[in-house]
Amino acid sequence: MYKVIALGVGAALLAAGLSYWQNKTPVQVPGQTGDHQSRTAAMEDIHRQIDLLRSRQTETRRILERLQEVALVQDFASRFRIKRGLAASIYAAAVAHEFEPDLIFRIVEAESNFSPSDVSPKGAVGLMQVMPGTASMYGVDRPSLFDTETNLNVGLIHLRNCLWAEDNNILKALDRYNRGNRPDALHRYASRILKGDSFNY
C-alpha cells in the first residue's frame, strides 16, 4: 500500500513539474542584433529557471526517498508483526550504524523477540540483549539499557566491534556477539540469524 502511495505521489510531483515548465512562457533570447543588456538579462533568467528546476528536482527526490523509507518501515513492521514506531527505531538505528536493516531486525527478533524490557536469566537486557558489563565498556549503565534507542545503539556499536575483531566475518562476529569469546564451530546462532542469506561487511 505504502509503495503504491509513494509511486503515486512521485508521479504527481513529476507531472506537476512538467506541467509548470510546459506552460511557462519560454525566454526569448535576442539574436545578434539585440543589445548586450537584453542578452545578459535573458541569460540570467535562463540560469534562474535552471536553478529553480534543480531545486525542485532535489526536493522531489527527498520526498520520494522519505516515502520509500516509510514504506520499508511499514514492510518490516508487518513482516515481524511489531508496532510501526518500534520498527522505525530499529530501522533508523541500523541505517545510522551502516548495517542492513534486515539483519538487525533478525538479531532483535532472536535476542529479545522485540521486547525492550526483556531480561535473560544471565542478565542480558533489552532489545539487543546487552550485558550490563558490556554496556559499561561504552559508558552506559544497566537502567539505561531499557531505553530503546540506547539499547540499540550500544548493541550495534558492540556488533561493529565484533565484526572488526573477526575481520568482518559475519558468521564469527555474530557468534562473538552472542557468546563472547567462546567460539561455536557450528555457528548455530549465526546460522539461525542468517538463514542461508549473505550479508557482506
C-alpha 59/C-alpha 8 separation (Å) is 16
Cross-strand pairs, 130? 125
Listed in sequence order, the residues at least 6 apart from 52 whose beta carbon sits closer than 8 Å to its beta carbon are none
To the query of whether residue 44 is one of the catalytic residues in this protein, the response is no
- What element of type H or E holds 89? helix 84-96
How many other C-beta atoms lie within 10 A of the C-beta of residue 169?
15
Helix, strand or coil, per DSSP, at residue 130: strand
Question: Which among 98, 111, 149, 166 is annotated as catalytic?
Answer: 111
Helix, strand or coil, per DSSP, at residue 169: coil
Dihedral sign computed on CA atoms, order 65, 107, 182, 180: positive
Query: Cell 505504502, residue?
Result: 2
Q: Which residues are catalytic?
A: 111
